[in-house]
A and B are shown apart, each in its own frame.
Chain A
């Protein structure tokens, strides 16, 4: 149900994604995330178009962590920040992190190489139903994503929404 990918550019790291629906304790989860007692990035799946978007964010975050140039304080915070097209950290959390009223949560874990991830531990903290990543596209709020990333209509003709999103993510600090 969950999906794990090795980062192509950093094969010593694996990224695991877990998706939950009908979540009842988003507020508690958000608090735990802020306290740092959940070892993962808690993301609002409505802003995610495809797991690749997460991989691109994770890739950038891991890269910055390795060279000591993260803008935030933890790898998981950096992943959330990397998703955002803006350079404002708190804005990134507001838009891409989970809010108290959310009923769906995407959890992203990054582990070293072959270390086993304690998925059961994470999953047990969520009062909700774990579902397959295939459900992600149904949870995406396409209109919101387009607005957030300022995707132009001409752009939509030459590529997928995912392409547009990833372009913005990867070039935000070069502009």
Chain B
């Protein structure tokens, strides 16, 4: 359930993603009465969050995370190049389609998303994900580093964004939570 404006933003971001070839759920129906959006159900998907948990728990070779991090970096770079700010990047908002090994990512939950070309907004978007990584997934420092490296290599506009990310990191949490 979302407010009307947020709902419109979410629907617009989803369509914008899809048109640019960024994997996001398809929109089936927008209900302005109950302010709800009916989306494609990504059947049998696993969140990246759960995937990381289960791989770590099983003690299997986590070098698999390297490729996952690269794919995430690439996906986010493409999204930001379309000036789409997700607004709530966490590993729970990234799904892996079955079979998991294919690392076929889908971005979900665009309820806080908006359109912006500002490096500051993109930097904050990445910062939110970094914080989520640190708090949710211990022992994954290299993963985020790999993600950023691939992001920088993929995105045509990454220079100023990484710079802003560094600034935001220095500023700390409170100043970066822009409502």
Residues of A within 8 A of B (CB): 9, 56, 59-60, 63, 67, 152-155, 157-159, 163-164, 166-168, 170-171, 173-175
Contact = CB atoms under 8 A, between A and B. Distances in A.
Contact of B29 (A60, A152, A157, A175): A60
A167 B12 contact: no
Residue among A157, A167, A175 having the largest count of chain B Cβ atoms under 10 Å: A167
Contacts of A167: 14-15, 18, 26-27
A154 B20 contact: yes
B33 interface: yes
Contact of A59 (B7, B14, B19, B29): B29
Main secondary structure, interface of B, reads: mixed
Contacts, number: 63
Contact of B33 (A56, A67, A154, A157): A67
Interface string B69-108: 0000000000000000000000000000000000000000
A67 B33 CA distance: 8
Contacts of B22: 158
A174 B5 CA distance: 10
B26 A159 contact: yes
Contacts of A175: 12, 15
A155 to B, nearest CB: 5
- Which 4 A-B pairs give the minimum distances between C-beta atoms? A154-B21, A163-B26, A174-B11, A158-B23
B19 A152 contact: yes
A175 B27 CA distance: 13
Interface in B11-51: 11-12, 14-15, 18-23, 26-31, 33, 38, 40
A155 B33 CA distance: 29
Given A56-B29, A63-B31, A166-B28, A171 B11 contact: yes
B86 to A, nearest CB: 16
7 contacts: A9-B38, A152-B20, A155-B21, A159-B18, A166-B26, A171-B15, A175-B12
Given A152-B21, A155-B21, A174-B8, A56 B15 contact: no
Nearest to A173: B30
B178 to A, nearest CB: 24
Given A163-B40, A171-B11, A174-B11, A158 B18 contact: yes
B36 to A, nearest CB: 10
Contacts of B40: 163
A171 B26 CA distance: 10
A59 B18 CA distance: 22
A171 B20 contact: no
A167 B25 CA distance: 9
Contacts of A164: 18, 26
Contacts of A157: 21
A135 to B, nearest CB: 25
B38 to A, nearest CB: 8
A167 B27 CA distance: 5
